[in-house]
Amino acid sequence: MTTTTTTDKTSRLAAARAYIERVRAEREAAAEKRKRKLPAAICRVCGTNVPAGTGTRGDDPNRRPDAMKHAPQLAEIEKLGPLVDFWRRTCDDCTAADAAGELEARAVSTAVGFPVAISDALAVVGLMRRTNPVTGVVTGMFPTAEVSGRWSGRPWGHLTPEDRKSIRATLDDVVGDTLPKRHKSGACGLCGARAALVWWVGPSSLRWPGSDATVHICDTCAEVWNRRGGPDDGDDLRRVVVELATGYAVPFGLRAPEGVRPFAASAAADPEGLDEPWTFSVGIRDLQREIWTARPEVAPAAMREQAEAWHREEEAERAEASRAEAEAAQAAGW
């Protein structure tokens, strides 16, 4: 009797589990089917195009902040509503940014043009949310596509110059003097960096094309330039450029390569600057590889592993050449 009862309970439990699993599978299949039927949409966060059958749909398809009542593209959105799904969907990229603050950091970084820490980005978004102290009505928010009522089909492409200026000003309030800033005269005349914490008057020989204004240099370059006596031109300035670009200090008594030029004196000179310092010349890149291959220890941390690999390759080639030379000499002796 006991055995029969235990068997019955086990059978019922197995049947219940199978039923639950079947219901779960049916619900997942139904959800996937509904998702596949979703039309193309506009991401309510970043404003990019959301292909049909992708993205995540919000709980309330009709919610729109009051700020959107006068949005410039609202009339167009209303016409396309059934097709574009309003602002009811979030693209997969924005949905995937599930770590706390990751989406905010991505948005603020895109707006200002350089990486922003998650904590600072969260503070920016928080400060940009303003409410009427009397009514409690929200009067300002971070300009997502949904809030601004604009979209471009590209992630955050809807942000206007005014939006970016407002976000940058808010970020300035958050981080204060710890934020790199552009100089009114342009980028760093030595390395081409666009922004720096501190700017210095640079070598008097440097001028931007078509300008008589003094070129400034970033704090990173100024540290080496000042330590080397602040040279204005000639071999002394080229030696500074070599040290800044490669980390290798040219020994006393040796000259720097004649073709080495600071950014402002190069063929690529442009006060707008570079996305990455020292990327304006093939000659500079070749010099970096040459020095880092011979001396991996002076390469920056991000390039150290690659420099060590180059060094090992060169050592192997040198050893092979020595072996071949020895074999040739031995054969000639016979």
Q: Residue 149 has what pLDDT?
A: 80
Whole-number Å distance between alpha carbons of 168 and 165:
5
If one compares 113 and 265, the residue with the highest pLDDT of the two is 265
Q: How confident is the model at residue 271 (pLDDT cuts 50, 70, 90)?
A: very high
Q: Please give the average per-residue pLDDT across 29-51, as a whole number.
A: 75
306-316 per-position pLDDT tens digit: 989 998 998 88
Q: Which of 8-22, 133-147, 300-314 has the lowest mean pLDDT?
A: 133-147
Q: How confident is the model at residue 264 (pLDDT cuts 50, 70, 90)?
A: very high
Token code pair at residue 215: 């070129």
52 has pLDDT over 50: yes
Nearest one of 138, 133, 107 to 120, comparing CA atoms: 107
